[in-house]
Structure 1
């Protein structure tokens, strides 16, 4: 058999599994796949995206899979090209996003011989992949079994959906002697593999003084938990996550602050429900370990053996219904405190134009999809944005800032196939610079209509609010945490031909967001991080004080 035939049969198996998006980084050893993919796209059976940077390519595949709701694949050559995929594979694993890593390789017998570009790459992602298989082009009898194993584990692994690696050992020749096989790929219109079925609906009766927290989880679980909990009258905090897509105005607006306020002592909940996986602060995990509060954790991806150190496993469900007689006085006190705190939040956003105010303004434009980077952007969304339905996409599985430009582009491409809606990404300057290679897109490649809003405060502002931002560490802070780079973002955008506009105040940002987006554009919002720690601490104190004054 040949390398060309192995590439052909691999692609056929993935098309049979319903995978239509393939991101390719050019190389020599993956030549058989590159030619197959190009021919298959001409035949109209798949969508091909080409990127020169493997890390950007992998995050593009991640964004396509997250927003599209179906697996996507990334294809690389051998050697360090494969290692560049590791951050996206980790995020895909922890966020239960099914992507296929197709890594070209040399025959395994060349390992340790000094052969060029040969490393031990089979299974190099460790436990981050649900399966890692190697197919040798000289052993066709193994192909069907190994491909079936990988495709099955992609969506039906016991730990939940996630990435798989298909490593292909190619021997020369790497090109066909004639294009006689390429036209045979046809679209099988397959629906893909069914996911492992969780219990469809779990009924949970809650005691009268219960607070419900809804965080990162699947659509059905988020929608059912928010709807049933708010309908019953329980205080509900929806953390800034994909769950915001099902939030409503009955949800707490200032939950991120209330969970650190005096309400926890004066009107203490007797029960805490955590739906999904909260990631934005320490208050929720800390509350879950309090000995006098019962905790229920509901999740739809994998069984957490010791959910948030409560000593209990999470209850697995794809949807949940919360019922129970709510203590009306308890609920009313939490509601009054929330309204008072929300007033201060809105006043702050109107009074001072800073990173938080910019995040508030971006969220209130209601894009069809909002992609948000980790660090301060997602925290500002959590503390400033009203709880109204909006589709939000994050890389909070591993909470990294890498790959965000490419993730946003992939998400926008997938979203706009089904919806004629604007897509906006909200990034800090370091997240933007970390994946600026994502803007390097050939003119022949598809581009979405995407506005990338970059909150540029020239450095790592989030560290100012953490322990290392204390005055005791001021002498070293700028160099090892703040890391001001002074990059001219306009010039960087010009280098890739990306339209750029700079905003320095509320009015210019509002005007830029109101503009029509054609292709990818960057909206740079320049704000200062001078006295960042003091400003954020003062803001939190005033919000919490307003809440506490309602029940003093």
Structure 2
């Protein structure tokens, strides 16, 4: 059997697992895969995407899998090409996104010989993969068992679905010498990698309970919000992927209420946390305070000690919340939320800053919103009205890398749905290679909004942004770059528009994207810390006033 035979067997196994999106990077050792994938696309078996940068390619596969909800594959040659997949593999692992990382290799006997482009790449991703298999072309009797092991692990393992590495040892000849081709998948063949559903968690809450819904699957978030709202409990839903389950009965200003006097005056006796909170420090602080009961429901089997509580979470794909709410408790939270929201909306109208720009993007209501970590997702959490919105965010590891490519992948997967990506300038620059797309490649309709404050604005609101660290702050945290985004877009023939106020941004977003376009929104980073602290003071003062009026 040949390298080409192993390539065909690998592609067919992935097709049986439901993979239809393949991302390919050029190389020599992966020649059998490259030729077979191109031929398979010409016969309508799959869709192929070619990228010259392996890191971009891996994040594109991540976005395709997140957008479609089914596994995607990324393919590379040997050597350092493989190492460039690592950041996306880590995110896929922590966000439980199934992707097959197919790495071409030389026979393992070549290690230590000085052979070109040969590194110890089997298992290079460590614990980030659900399984790693090496399959040698000279051992066809091992192919099926090893490939099926990887596919089943991608669909589900003790720590949930996620990425796998399929490392293929290819020896020459690397090009086809026969007319055979991949055997088409038949309709009646068994699908590989199916995972059984988790159970429903039944949670009866005491009268003064607060419900927090954070990063989790849409099914769990929807069941939590629906049943908690129906019972009348206050619900704070973080503006991440679970925002798809939001409705206007959820708290609008929960990000502020959790650090307000409301927590002291109307302190919950019980806190129910559904999913994994990633945006708000007060939530872990409440969980660990020790003076209220805590229940945690999670669909993430890799989390065994949530927020360092020592409490095992209830593992479930759905939750049903019941209980009789304390009407006075619920009204106090509702009044405080209304008062806080009025201040937030007033600030958004009066001052066009990063938060206001994010609010305009949210109000444009794209079908899918891809949001960067750091300030964009936090501004969304503070400013956005709670309504159902599909959000894709790389919050598994909360990195800012690969986000342009992730957004391209999402947009390709959900087309013709309207997709907008909301990025900061550093996230955009970090993955500017994501705009390098060949003329023959599938290209989505995607609007990329870049809120550009020339540096790392998030650090201004953290401890290192305090005045006593001002001497070195700008260089090592602020990191101004002075990059010309318009020129960068011109280099890749990407349509560009600059919007300096809310009206211009709203008008630009109202126009349909034709291909990939970039909208730059320049905002000032001066007094960033003071602006954010002033907004928080005003919101918290409004909450305090609502409490005083009530009493």
Q: Indicate whether the TM-score tops 0.5.
A: yes
1:220-262 CA-to-partner distances (Å, cap 9, x unmatched) read: 1010000000111100000011111110000000000000011
> Normalising by the residue count of structure 1, what TM-score does the alignment of the two structures yield?
0.98
Contact 1:137 1:168 in 2 (8 A): yes
Instruction: Give the Cα–Cα distance (whole angstroms) in 2 for the partners of residues 193 and 299 of structure 1.
Output: 25
Q: Identify the residue that residue 381 of structure 1 maps to in structure 2.
A: 380
Q: Identify the residue that residue 158 of structure 1 maps to in structure 2.
A: 158
TM-superposed CA distance for 1:197, in Å, is 2.5
Give aligned pairs, total: 548
Instruction: Give the Cα–Cα distance (whole angstroms) in 2 for the partners of residues 245 and 257 of structure 1.
Output: 21
TM-superposed CA distance for 1:191, in Å, is 7.5
Q: Identify the residue that residue 492 of structure 2 maps to in structure 1.
A: 496
TM-superposed CA distance for 1:281, in Å, is 2.2
1:28-63 CA-to-partner distances (Å, cap 9, x unmatched) read: 110000001000000001010001000000000000
Q: Identify the residue that residue 513 of structure 2 maps to in structure 1.
A: 517
Query: Does the alignment pair 1:372 with 2:371?
Result: yes
Query: Does the alignment pair 1:546 with 2:546?
Result: no
Query: Does the alignment pair 1:533 with 2:529?
Result: yes
Q: Identify the residue that residue 323 of structure 2 maps to in structure 1.
A: 324
Instruction: Give the Cα–Cα distance (whole angstroms) in 1 for the partners of residues 290 and 503 of structure 2.
Output: 49
Q: Are residues 225 and 488 of structure 1, via their aligned partners in 2, closer, same or farther at CA, if it must alter by over 3 Å? A: same
Query: Does the alignment pair 1:239 with 2:238?
Result: yes
Q: Superposition pairs for residues 60-71 of structure 1, below 5 Å?
A: 60-71=60-71
TM-superposed CA distance for 1:472, in Å, is 1.2
Q: Identify the residue that residue 10 of structure 1 maps to in structure 2.
A: 10
Q: Superposition pairs for residues 332-481 of structure 1, below 5 Å?
A: 332-416=331-415, 420-481=416-477
TM-superposed CA distance for 1:466, in Å, is 0.6
Instruction: Give the Cα–Cα distance (whole angstroms) in 1 for the partners of residues 146 and 540 of structure 2.
Output: 56
After superposing on structure 2, the runs of 4+ consecutive aligned residues of structure 1 that deviate more than 3 Å are: 183-196
TM-superposed CA distance for 1:196, in Å, is 3.2
TM-superposed CA distance for 1:11, in Å, is 0.6
Instruction: Give the Cα–Cα distance (whole angstroms) in 2 for the partners of residues 396 and 480 of structure 1.
Output: 24
Q: Identify the residue that residue 50 of structure 1 maps to in structure 2.
A: 50
Question: Is there any run of 5+ residues in structure 1 with no aligned partner, and where?
Answer: none
Secondary structure of the corresponding residue to residue 203 of structure 1: strand
TM-superposed CA distance for 1:2, in Å, is 1.0
1:89-131 CA-to-partner distances (Å, cap 9, x unmatched) read: 0000000000000000011111111111110000110000000
Q: Superposition pairs for residues 6-155 of structure 1, below 5 Å?
A: 6-155=6-155
Instruction: Give the Cα–Cα distance (whole angstroms) in 1 for the partners of residues 122 and 157 of structure 2.
Output: 19
TM-superposed CA distance for 1:543, in Å, is 0.7
TM-superposed CA distance for 1:482, in Å, is 0.8
Superposition RMSD on alpha carbons, in Å?
1.2
Instruction: Give the Cα–Cα distance (whole angstroms) in 2 for the partners of residues 152 and 421 of structure 1.
Output: 30
Instruction: Give the Cα–Cα distance (whole angstroms) in 2 for the partners of residues 338 and 259 of structure 1.
Output: 11
TM-superposed CA distance for 1:303, in Å, is 5.3
Contact 2:12 2:182 in 1 (8 A): no
Instruction: Give the Cα–Cα distance (whole angstroms) in 1 for the partners of residues 187 and 46 of structure 2.
Output: 11
